[in-house]
Amino acid sequence: MNRLETVKELSLVRVVGDDLAHCSAMSFMLESKGWTVAAYNSAKEFLINDKPGQPGCLILDVNMPEMTGLELQEHLNQQGNTVPIIFLTSYGDIDMAVNALHSGAADFLQKPVKSEKLLASVEKAATASVTLAEPLRVMSQEEAKQKLSLITEREIQILKLTSLRLSSRAVGERLGISDRTVESHRASAGKKTPASHQGRNPSADRSGERYSWLKHSAMLFLKISFPSEDLLSR
Candidates 3.40.50.720, 1.10.3720.10, 3.30.420.40, 3.40.50.2300; CATH matching 3-133: 3.40.50.2300
Residue 204 pLDDT > 70: no
SS3 (DSSP) at 88: strand
- State yes or no: pLDDT of 84 exceeds 70: yes
State the pairing for strand pair 12-16/37-40: parallel
How far is the C-alpha of 166 from the C-alpha of 231, rounded, in Å? 19
| pLDDT score of 232 more than 80 | no
Cα distance between residue 83 and residue 56, in whole Å: 7
Please report the pLDDT score of residue 134 as a whole number: 57
Confidence of residue 137 (pLDDT cuts 50, 70, 90): very low
Can you give the pLDDT at residue 103?
Answer: 83
pLDDT for res 140? 53
100 compared with 210, residue with greater pLDDT: 100
What is the mean predicted confidence (pLDDT) over 172-176? 91
pLDDT of 226 over the 50 cut: no
Cβ–Cβ < 8 Å for 145, 194 = no
pLDDT mean across residues, the chain: 80
The one-letter code for the residue type at 141 is Q
State yes or no: pLDDT of 30 exceeds 50.
yes
Whole-structure pTM value: 0.59
- Averaged pLDDT, 107-134: 92
**By C-alpha distance, which of 112, 50, 116 is closest to 83?**
50
141-233: CATH topology is: Arc Repressor Mutant, subunit A (1.10.10)
Domain boundaries, the chain: 3-133, 141-233
- Type and span of the H or E element at 107: strand 107-110
Q: How far apart are CA 223 and CA 152, in angstroms?
A: 16
Say whether 141-233 and 3-133 share the same fold: no
How far apart, in Å, are the Cα atoms of 2 and each of 12, 95, 126, 138, 220?
18, 38, 15, 18, 29
For residue 208, pLDDT beyond 80: no
**Confidence band (pLDDT; 50, 70, 90) for 142?**
low
pLDDT at 74 exceeding the cut of 50:
yes
